[in-house]
A and B are shown apart, each in its own frame.
Chain A
Amino acid sequence: MQILLLLAFLNAAQPAGEVPGPSDAAALTELPDLTEVFSAWASGGSWAGAGEFAQAWSGNLYALGTALLLFVLGAAAASRREMVPGRLQNAAELVVEKILEFLTDVLGSHAEEHLPFLGTLFLYILFMNLSGLVPLLKAPTSMLETTASLALVVLVYVQVTGIRSLGLPRYLHHLAGSPRTVTDWVLLPLMLPTHLVSELARPLSLAVRLFGNIMGEDVMISVFTGLGVVAVAAWLPVGLPLALPMILLGLLLSTVQALVFTLLSSVYIAQVLPSEHR
């Protein structure tokens, strides 16, 4: 049921930029970004096709840009590894160590094994969230397509980790709610669907949580920016920076949401690991 709703909403949200329907109302209240400026500049000219493409795929383009930025930063930090690290390598090592320390609280000795996935997830989401605060950029995570795909990746990763660490029979046993007593086995037909639904509700809640928070933040910033311009438009040629406190709040919210997404993913992974690490 919930997955059907998600799909229904994805379908409603998919043609963003092409057919501004009622469900795009949220997208319309956000501040203009580079792709919109580009498509407005290009409309009617020989670049019109590229402009429409950029606007329709803006979320993917920004996500790709963020990934490229992270890739370049990571490659630059890891290319010349030395005993006495330079500035970039030092910063990168600090970040990685902090994330590892944070994951060790949840995953115990398995933290290092899952650090590449979860650390990348954290940095990727953090950079995508923060790009919503840069003028003329847009947070890709303020679109449900991006967050839903991230949550689906987590779902697949958790299930694959579960099958690999527990083995298929024990994984199925875990999926059935680890029945031990007779009562548990009698209740199995009731418990198995319940567990399956809760397993499938996780990516939905992950995706909607990130999307809702970041979109709410972006809409709030754009509303306050508009308010700052409208409030003094009669007397002053410039607007008031009313959005500034909201941007500071956004810095905090972006970090917290990236943290929550990573934390919940690692908790889901911890649940499918052998029981001594619960």
Chain B
Amino acid sequence: MSKFKKKKSGDLPAVSTASLPDIVFMLLFFFMTVTVMKDSDLMVTNKVPTASEVQKLDKKDPVMYIYAGKPTMKYQKKAGTSNKVQINDKFVVPDEIPNFVLEYQSGLHQDLQNRFITALKIDEDTNMGIVTDVKEALRDANALKINYITKDGDPLVGLKK
């Protein structure tokens, strides 16, 4: 009988998982802080084109979004498959856009009103007809600052030659 028992070989001590919740909570808080809840549900396809000469929109700028593209599968039964314009949560025709712009602008503080930008999130497969209609409607509403939302990248990739 030896006083020192020989340690069983091959029996590794279990890794302590006590700090696992802490790590997970850290990640959780990170994602909670960076998450922005979408206020409007996208009802159109929205794969924006790429461009290289992009300018970042500032978080503090008053931005109104206008989406355009083909209705997604879910809405095709109701709205058809031709290109549609979406503002907030509904499809609109271009003639209605000035009303939305004025409504948005009237809710803004005075000195923000002249920094007002309309961001056009338009699907790359949309044709220019509907884009032109939107632009003309924005001119009617005197909302002249616009931004074509794009991804950063080479615009020439994927263009058919």
> Is A bound to B?
no
